[in-house]
Amino acid sequence: DEALDEVDAGKVYVVGGIVDLATRGMRTSVTRATNAGLRAVRLPIREFKPEQTHTVLNIDAVVKILAARRSGLSWDETFERELPKRQKKERPKREKRERVV
């Protein structure tokens, strides 16, 4: 469960999202990468935005984050600018309502 440190222009990044979404909890992309001898990493959201409770992102958001980090922004600046608004703050939990029959 290694976090990405730097975005290197000389490397190819494969974003594993669609397959993993369909097989929640299976870590399909990580397993395939490891089996192919490739390095699998995650975005360091937990390290830089520990208040985030939900770290699943759309592929376009991940690509924007990688591009922003590659452009020279710090991780803090990158996440502040590129994390979708719906994920910037911890959402309050909904109160459960009693069901009236």
| CB of 51 closer than 8 Å to CB of 10 | no
Q: Which amino acid is at 46?
A: R
Predicted TM-score of the model (pTM): 0.75
Asked whether 2 and 40 are in contact (CB, 8 A), the reply is yes
Contact status, residue 66 vs residue 96, Cβ threshold 8 Å: no
State the amino acid at position 44 in one-letter form. P
- For the chain, the domains span 18-87
Average pLDDT over residues 40-67: 89
Measured from the Cβ of residue 27, the count of other Cβ atoms closer than 10 Å reads 15
Task: Dump pLDDT digits (tens) for 13-49.
Answer: 988 766 555 556 667 778 888 899 999 899 999 999 9
